Amino acid sequence: MTHTIQPNNPEATPAPDATDIPAAAQPKPSPAPAASGVPAALKRRIPKYSDLAPLMQFKKPEFSKEARLKRASTIWELRDIAKRRTPQAPFDYTDGAAEGEITLRRAREAFLDIEFRPGILRNVSKIDLSTEILGKPSRLPVGIAPTGFTRMMQSEGEYAGSQAAEAAGIPYTLSTMGTASIEDVAAAAPNGRNWFQLYLWTDRDRSLELIERAAKAGNDTLMVTVDTAVAGARLRDVRNGMTIPPALTVKTVLDASYRPAWWFNFLTHEPLTFASLSRYTGTVADLINSMFDPTLTFEDLDWLRETWKGKLVVKGIQTVEDARRVVDHGADGVVLSNHGGRQLDRAPIPFHLLPEVKQAFTADNSDAAIMLDTGIMSGADIVAALALGADFTLIGRAYLYGLMAGGRAGVDRTLQILEKDMARTMALLGVSSISELTPEHVRLLNK
């Protein structure tokens, strides 16, 4: 059936007489305005109960851990919860950085100082956040970075992190300075993708022992950190008298009185030790300065490449030249990182370095993976890094805030927040998969 539109000819069709129109179909006159000139709909009246009833949806207050975590919709809100529930020394160890903390501040500002450039009229009904890193799939383009002393932040420590990563389908990296052993983490997350982070010691035999244990436990990637020739000046730790294990002083006892749950967990679980090291007592800086090797060179990287048969990643890359050089010495990937601002203050910002490294690797026809950490506090940060050339990202503080806020459930919440952020950001950018992100989607404003 076709419909023909008649020309607008008022003489062809006479207007109907009002008497021909049924009463129900005749237009109703608008109500006359009130004498005051105020429309009737805007006149004050006493509300009826029937009007108020749909609005009165009072809920019983919830104070459980689950409810507390559910109310957090950003990593910053998890940080606020973590600060309330964690003693000052371990919280500041996580939250702080070196010297004036300039590097950390700049790293976070770098992610804020961008402009997204969205495309429109794209089908974004389904968002795929999966990717591949170092030859294996990851459900999200983010993994958990190595963090030391993790059970000091919250008693579930590395177990919570590795199990949350396993459940999320992403890699988890255990630190040499972790408080759970290589074997225990592997047992806690047997189906997870576990990586091991290594500090090369002056004692190569002890380094070799850790490498062999990591391989035997099923770790497929070794991440060697190269930016800790000496300890950075982490002044919050100095002021707090930070020691391992935490010391019971008048200050810490008073601090604990406001955070009884943390101390109850700390005192009723296995004593805090470095699971990969022998028992050590002293300050963090003393440990680093006595254990790490300031004589490391690229020849040591060659030794490591010959020794380790899995994927080898070098963490702590802060120049294009070093990124290229470690790949020439056998690295399968690099982590652009300034150690979360915890070593050299005023260090290069990984996010700013990223496009240059990507350009250099492209020119070299290198397929080495480019990973990035430092400053990530939202899924939008991750999307921006991927658009500018990162293959993968790592989070440290962001996951530790979740851990301190609620143990394993808090880490789960961290990953849920980041996943939701990423999916929303990509949809608004007009892309439905990681592979569609390009530098055209991000503009650096004031680099």
Options 269, 329, 339, 352, the catalytic residue:
339
What is the residue whose two structure tokens read 């496009």?
A: 355
Distance CA 232, CA 344 (A): 6
Among residues 364, 393, 409, 379, the alpha carbon closest in space to that of 156 is found at: 409
Known active-site residue 339: yes
Specify burial of residue 23 (Cβ count, 10 A radius: 0-12, 13-18, 19+).
exposed
Q: Specify the long-range contacts of residues 261-266, CB closer than 8 Å, at least 24 apart.
A: 261/85, 262/85, 262/86, 262/87, 262/154, 263/87, 265/154, 265/155, 266/152, 266/155
Q: 333 and 394 in contact (C-beta within 8 Å)?
A: no
In angstroms, the Cα distances linking 338 to 185, 314, 389, 396 are: 26, 12, 18, 12
Is the N-terminal amide bond of 29 cis, ω within 30° of 0? Answer: no
Query: Cα angle vertex 154, ends 150, 159, to 5°?
Result: 60
The catalytic residues are 339
